[in-house]
Chains A and B, each alone.
Chain A
Amino acid sequence: MSAQKRSSKKKGTSDGNRYEEDFLKNLYATMYRIRQFEEQVFELYKLGLMPGLAHSYIGEEAVATGACAALQDRDYIVSTHRGHGHLIARGADTKKMMAEVLGKKDGYCKGKAGSMHIVALDKGILGANGIVGGGIPIATGAAYMAKYKDTKQVTVSFLGESATNEGTFHESLNMASAWDLPVVYVVENNRYGISVALDRVTKMQDIAVRAQAYGIGGVTIDGNDVLKVYETVKEAVASAREGQGPALIECKTYRFKGHHVGDPATQYRTREEEAFWKERCPLVCFRDYLIEKAGSDEKGIVALENAINDEIQEAIVFAKNSPYPDAVEAFEDIYFEGR
């Protein structure tokens, strides 16, 4: 029950397991897709084409990718304000995502959601959430449903380390543990909540310690190691699916950019810290691993990358070409009227 800590490795990758190359390449493709999507969102923001703001997932791709790879199609995820990565890892359509981020009619939510609130029910994505901690009880409720109906579905609730200071975190984990609900809480510990470093507002720096308060399993892992995330989440998901209750998995990671696209992140963290983490870029590390350890050839990877670049460019074209919704649509979808 006590927090296990994984000794940090320079090139944050596991190699104790053997996987099919396709599987590994898919993981890489997902991470690369997230990265590319986010880079392009940033470009669109700088060009003034994106309304509002977005929270970049760059640097944290291994968490969403590893976690979602451990799920079955019928499982659920609940996401956060920093949700693009979770959605893409869960298989959301980048075209519809990009259109949503631009506030267009063909977006997942017809332009009503924007970056922070995307739902993709067909992919089991119950929603990103603009309220820090707001999704945690909702994820727990989905797990209650699964337990009540014995559907064997598991829900993964993503949350930031700072969200663990909201009351909803505590209330949810208490219920999930008391009733052995099939939910896995994946904490993305990137050390900051906007500008506030965890150690300024919380005594214990390993969030996994908090699992002890609920008598559930809690581990701290290298969140930049996609295989480690995959393996850890997979085990927790299997255990939850079998009725053994929830778990808390803390993934140590880092956001390369500021809190949102408009934040230069200059005041509250050091360039050294940034450099330390960029060394541990989950994409670069895993790419190296693919080539050096898993026997993939670089040409194949480049081809994959190019294909994804094209896909994201298509998504941008799709989003740009999509019309804005009509003003009258503001009045639709408030209430469900049909049956």
Chain B
Amino acid sequence: MFSITTESIEPRALEEIVRTGDGGVVTFLGVVRDEADGRRVSGLSYEAFEPMAVREFEAIAREARDRFGDVRIAIVHRIGELSAGEISVAVLASAAHRGTAFDACRYAIDELKRRAPIWKKERYADGGSEWRAGGA
């Protein structure tokens, strides 16, 4: 399950990829923070180059399998307007053993932030806004 969505993310939906025999399921949820570098954030907007982003998610999942072994991965990223406390991204990794699931989940979110064609604009409570690169 690899997708870009304008709807609010329901993390449990990603569990559909969990297979009988998987003993460890690791989920990462990215949540919109209410501050960045000491400035109060009033909202965010995300945009994506959707077909390329989805292909990048697929590539990242393949790489995770090559590196860490048999693991199922789901990645869903939300776009559009988000406010503090909302989920911007969910990554789920499910494997027979937990080490594989942890490694694959972390690899996937790190790579997603590093290279998936997705952009984030922060709007600040004190006015102004900024495109933020290199997801911290």
Q: Do A and B share a complex?
A: no
